[in-house]
């Protein structure tokens, strides 16, 4: 049985683990980079990367894009949909560094700060690019749903090519 992250942070003051999920790419590579999380030292600021627990019990690590009176606006680096209303009550810890290929990279590192500003300050451009990259798979899913059988009948929404060709040929004969 695994120990909840909150208990590890309370006991050790630090949590080191390997992240799972692609939401923080390209900065954090899932199952490859080690994440170093510490308890927050006050309210979060823009660009911090908190580890928080959703009401569903799921742990999430996303970046703060905006600080509001009613909570934080968060988003993964590899996402374009923002999450609103995350509060301090849900925050467990904050990313202070990560280890990539044996080298520890602090969130205070100038190269990390440059990445954060370029990636987040151009959020609108990133959102458009990610939306466009996801467009072919969204279209494919919708076409697949349309091509599958409808719930009301056993007929296909789109006829197959075998069904279309004979009907076209019969129409030609009728028109001649």
Q: How many CA atoms does the CB half-sphere of 130 hold within 13 Å?
A: 19
Share of the chain above pLDDT 70, in %: 84
**Neighbouring residues of 149: CB distance < 8 A, sequence distance ≥ 6:** 155, 156, 157
> Are both 31 and 57 inside the same structural domain?
yes
Residue 173 has pLDDT above 80, yes or no: no
Domain that holds residue 163: 130-175
Question: Which sign, positive or negative, has the C-alpha torsion 113, 116, 122, 126?
Answer: positive
The answer on 149 and 65 residing in a single domain is no
Which of 18-27, 35-44, 154-163 has the least mean pLDDT?
154-163
Q: Between these two residues, 40 and 150, which has the higher pLDDT value?
A: 40
Residues 163, 112: one domain?
no
pLDDT at 121: 84
What average pLDDT does the structure give for the chain?
A: 86
Q: What is the pLDDT of residues 53-106, one digit of tens each?
A: 999 999 999 999 999 999 999 999 988 889 999 999 999 999 999 999 999 999
Same domain, 99 and 156: no
pTM of the model: 0.72
Question: Where does a domain end: 94, 121, 148?
Answer: 121
CATH code of the domain containing 91? 2.10.109.10
Domain count, the chain: 2
142 and 100 share one domain:
no
**One domain, residues 47 and 76:** yes
* Greater model confidence, 131 or 45: 45
Query: How high is the pLDDT of residue 131?
Result: 86
Burial track 152-176 (b if 16+ CB lie within 10 A, e otherwise): eeeeeeeeeeeeeeeeeeeeeeeee
């Amino acid at each position: 049985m695994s120990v909840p992250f909150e208990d590890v942070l309370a006991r050790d003051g630090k949590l080191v683990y390997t992240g799972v999920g692609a939401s923080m790419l390209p900065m954090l590579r899932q199952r490859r980079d080690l994440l170093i999380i510490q308890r927050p030292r006050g309210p979060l600021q823009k660009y911090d990367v908190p580890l928080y627990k959703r009401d569903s019990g799921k742990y999430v690590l996303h970046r703060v894009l905006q600080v509001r009176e009613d909570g934080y606006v968060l988003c993964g680096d590899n996402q374009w949909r923002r999450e609103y209303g995350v509060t301090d009550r849900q925050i467990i810890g904050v990313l202070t560094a990560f280890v990539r290929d044996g080298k520890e990279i602090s969130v205070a590192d100038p190269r990390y700060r440059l990445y954060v500003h370029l990636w987040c300050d151009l959020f609108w451009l990133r959102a458009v690019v990610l939306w466009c990259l996801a467009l072919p798979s969204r279209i494919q899913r919708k076409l697949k749903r349309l091509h599958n059988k409808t719930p009301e009948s056993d007929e296909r929404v789109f006829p197959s090519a075998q069904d279309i060709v004979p009907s076209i040929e019969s129409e030609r004969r009728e028109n001649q």
